[in-house]
Amino acid sequence: MELAEQLKKETEKWLRKIEKVNFSAKTKKGQEYKNNIEAYIKDSKYFLEKKDFIRGFESIIWAWAFLEISQELSLLEIAP
């Protein structure tokens, strides 16, 4: 499998996973992080449509980074 196809599949996998996460902001800063997460998810989908798999993958990685950091800092509430 070529690199482009691998990146596409991994990006789609992580997009599906993050779209199942139900999160809400607990603070004003949390809302900023939530907005960033949503923007990176949107960017990832856009780049996938454009077949820019590297940027699509980078975007979903950033979305996950913001999600994990904001959860660790108690800025977001993650529902089970």
> pLDDT of the chain along its 80 residues, tens only?
799 999 999 999 999 999 999 999 999 999 999 999 999 999 999 999 999 999 999 999 999 999 999 999 999 999 87
Tell me the whole-structure pTM to 2 decimals: 0.93
Domain that holds residue 40: 25-79
In a domain, 33, yes or no: yes
Q: Which CATH number goes with the domain that contains 52?
A: 1.20.1270.90
In a domain, 37, yes or no: yes
In Å, what is the CA distance from 32 to each residue of 3, 7, 27, 62?
33, 28, 9, 14
For 12, the token pair is 């789609």
pLDDT at 6: 96
In a domain, 72, yes or no: yes
The domain total for the chain is 1
In a domain, 38, yes or no: yes
Element (H, E) at 22: strand 22-25
pLDDT at 35: 97
In a domain, 16, yes or no: no
